[in-house]
Structure 1
Amino acid sequence: MGRSKTTGNNGTVASSPSPSRSPVAEELPIGPLSIVVPEAEREQVKVNTASLSELKNACDDAIKRYLSRPELFKQNYIHTDVRLGLGWSSVIVAGFTALYGYKVEFEQSKPVIWIGLILYCALSTIQWLYAFFIEKETIFQGKRKTFSRRIVTERISIGSRTVPVKSSIPPAYELQISYVRSSSNGKSLLAKGKTRGSREYNSFFDEQGTMDQQRLEQFVGELVEQTMEGKNS
């Protein structure tokens, strides 16, 4: 830290510390609002405004595209992979069981058919339990590693849901964001935050159902950067 010299009434020279930038601010990684997305890279998104599921899915997909840009986070597909693995496994079991029952006489095939039926029910149940208790409302999980005098790892998780109509208030899109920034392979916690925010769907879509992607990105970017600063709301 530098020092500036001042002369007192008695002629002596005193030194006082000069202002310097906060080390925390210097280490804060780049946030979404610092990324400028060219309009040419955006494809028009148009949905049926009468369908809440279409509105939510369109917003979810736009957020994934925005936050998974090379400058931001690398998306983690663990939830999708698990659900696809369980789903395909149940389909394979069902197909094999049906084929075996078709090729082999009924009485002889009953033990295998029962095993196949039990496996199919078990896999379908596990898939449902995973989606309900583990994946929940998660739409995006991302990770980023940066180097600023040390290796810093960031992890972000975003969940979304539709807030239903309440009297005269239109349906809204709500996000829940959690964020952790650490170093030394997670041993040193640098920042941690959780943020929640919502905005009415008509803030992002016009009457024809065309999405204002820039406005949605601004909304998401502000929430993410608040969370990156360690704020909780």
Structure 2
Amino acid sequence: MARVNAKSSTLSTPTTSRRRASSSAGSSPEKPPGPLSIVITPEEREIIKLNNANLVDLKNACDDALKRFLSRPDLFKQIHLHTDVRLALGWAGVFVAAATGLYGFKVEFEKSKPAVWAGLILYIILTTLQVLYSYFVEGDIIFVGKRKTFSKRIVTERITISSRTEPVLKTKPPAYEVSISYVQSSGAGKSLLAKGKAREARGYNAFFDESGVMNQEKFEAWVGSVVEGVMDGKAT
């Protein structure tokens, strides 16, 4: 994916969309600012251009754009817990492998075998845990954000977003799907103010033109409307 420093222009592209959503709880009495209320000027953007025949690149570009859009000042602070856990397990495995190799190099083969076997088993366990965590815990989650606002009381919001690519069907192009979960609470999570869930998909051709340039304004407007709908307790 290539980026060129320049002003982004509004592009007109055909769109394909499918909406599936469910929401619970009514609108919260607290009304923190939504993502669409904080304007981005064209000068703040970089043109994003990629191979629009590569679905992995398209999804990664949308994931990155979503994270940049929602982690702006006054919105959500991104929580990197899943990344931190995977990195910790990965580095622990590297350390165990290096220590085991060094020990086996300096100690006689017969004497070092028990420790080397223990190091090998521990390395396999750490690597397996990393894979299992990534698959079963992190899954398709691309963004976890948290925000605290003050309006007579401390209000805490937490949003979790997963994404995936919907496959190509006979009459439907591939689509970018987001699943959003939102919780607003106060009193250190003891008092639930609002919560909601939504799932929505829109074709990649709604956000990328024939040359692979991303229409970031249109993508941000779509993501912002879905997020604000969940924040307001509305099905989208």
TM-score by length of 1: 0.86
Tell me the equivalent position of 2:150.
147
Tell me the equivalent position of 2:131.
128
Native 8 Å contact 2:52 2:211 kept in 1: yes
Tell me the equivalent position of 2:58.
55
Tell me the equivalent position of 1:69.
72
Task: Tell me: CA distance 1:62–1:143, structure 2 relative to 1, closer, same or farther (3 Å).
Answer: same
Native 8 Å contact 2:28 2:194 kept in 1: no
The whole-number CA distance in structure 1 between the counterparts of 2:105 and 2:233 is 60
- Segment of structure 1 superposing worse, 107-116 or 191-200: 107-116
The whole-number CA distance in structure 2 between the counterparts of 1:92 and 1:129 is 20
Gaps spanning 5+ residues in structure 1: where?
1-23
Q: Which letter maps to 1:56?
A: K
Higher relative contact order (CA 8 A, sep 6+): 2
Q: Deviations 1:56-109 (Å, cap 9, x if unpaired)?
A: 111111111110001200110101100110111111111222222222222221
SS at match of 2:47: coil
Sequence identity percentage: 62
The whole-number CA distance in structure 1 between the counterparts of 2:208 and 2:105 is 52
SS at match of 1:65: helix
The whole-number CA distance in structure 1 between the counterparts of 2:204 and 2:106 is 54
The whole-number CA distance in structure 1 between the counterparts of 2:123 and 2:73 is 40
The whole-number CA distance in structure 1 between the counterparts of 2:57 and 2:75 is 26
**Equivalent of residue 158 in structure 1, options 153, 157, 161:** 161
Q: CA deviation at 1:44?
A: 1.5
Task: Tell me: CA distance 1:25–1:192, structure 2 relative to 1, closer, same or farther (3 Å).
Answer: closer
Q: Which letter maps to 2:177?
A: E
The whole-number CA distance in structure 2 between the counterparts of 1:91 and 1:231 is 47
Tell me the equivalent position of 1:217.
220
TM-score by length of 2: 0.85
**Equivalent of residue 100 in structure 2, options 92, 97, 102:** 97
Q: Which letter maps to 1:115?
A: A
Residue 196, structure 1, aligned to residue 190, structure 2: no
Tell me the equivalent position of 2:91.
88
**Over 4 Å off, 4+ runs:** none
- Segment of structure 1 superposing worse, 105-114 or 115-124: 105-114
Tell me the equivalent position of 2:6.
none
SS at match of 1:27: coil
Q: CA deviation at 1:148?
A: 1.2
SS at match of 1:202: helix
Residue 227, structure 1, aligned to residue 226, structure 2: no
SS at match of 2:49: coil
Aligned residues: 210
**Equivalent of residue 187 in structure 2, options 184, 188, 196:** 184
- Computing the radius of gyration from Cα coordinates, the structure with the larger value is 1
Tell me the equivalent position of 2:38.
35
Q: Which letter maps to 1:75?
A: Q
